Amino acid sequence: MRDLKIPEQRHPEKAKRPDSERLRKPSWIRVKAPTGDGYKKTRNLMRDNALVTVCEEAGCPNVGECWSQGHATMMIMGEICTRGCSFCNIATGKPDSLDTFEPGRVAHAVDKLGLKHVVITSVDRDDLADGGAEHFAQTIRAVRHRAPDTTIEILTPDFLKCDARALETVVAARPDVFNHNLETVPGLYPSVRPGARYFHSLRLLQRVKELDPQMFTKSGIMVGLGEDRQGVHQVMDDMRAADIDFLTIGQYLQPTPKHHPVERFVTPEEFASYEKAAYGKGFLMVSATPLTRSSYHAGDDFARLRAARMAQG
């Protein structure tokens, strides 16, 4: 993988904007409040099975639409993350011990919802020797047993403090899609994703392909954090060098005044331009809209991703 010259960025303290100067959301980023019987059914199923979803924990703007359709992204290994990323609204601290019954409850919920495609993600668990890799594998196997026709997409942490066996454990469980988000351009890592390493995340995804060339790989970034267009194209090139199949690009939304500010709202036209450029660089699948999130329309996107590979022969 080629070396990159990471552009100098502003100091994180200078990036903060007073509350009175916070940007107002444009019309294209506004969504309706979640309501309806389908939404309530999904919410109740999550509560009854004591399951955590990233839809709620991360304040996803699409939760109303997805839950109304019976779609939810399961978040395993608890609600407490060991990292402190400035864009993320998930609590940081000392997590509880792993719940050995959680994989079975996830599988039960997938079966009850009748999901054709499920996305399973987690908090970062740097407190665990394997970063939670075996728990991921157990959850994948439980879903395969309970819902054998359901395709499985995982959105993993970076396993930064683990040896190579952690990633190998997850890949050996054979999820259909292996997703790990780069989140932003390399120069913004010190202020946006300080506990992570850009090139490590790239190498993680490249290694998945080396372990299983047929496994789909996926990664995403947010825009509006202070990156420029050249930086976004650099990330696209790096992803393609790592043989990543599927790229997502969405608008960053500031969860609270304490989080990294929104530097700008990227227009739908700019997102369309990014999507066109990404397809030109060779991605099999691209989703680039203001409301795009890693798991948004994941089932439909997976079907198109598989069809695109078949079309390539």
Structure tokens at 32: 């309706």
- Does domain 33-312 match CATH 3.20.20.70? yes
Q: Where are the domains of the chain?
A: 33-312
Q: What is the dihedral of CA 56, 109, 209, 300, to 10 degrees?
A: -80
Given a cut of 70, the residues of the chain with pLDDT beneath it are 1-22, 30-72, 295-297
**43-93 pLDDT, tens digit each:** 666 666 665 555 454 555 545 455 454 456 788 999 899 999 998 888 899
* Contact predicate 162/127, CB 8 Å: no
Element (H, E) at 307: helix 298-312
Q: Which residues pair with 117 in a beta bridge?
A: 151
What phi and psi values does residue 75 have, to the nearest 5 degrees?
Answer: -115, 115
Q: In 3-state terms, what secondary structure has residue 285?
A: strand
Tokens of 282: 């060779």
According to the model, what pLDDT value does residue 40 have? 65
pLDDT at 44: 65
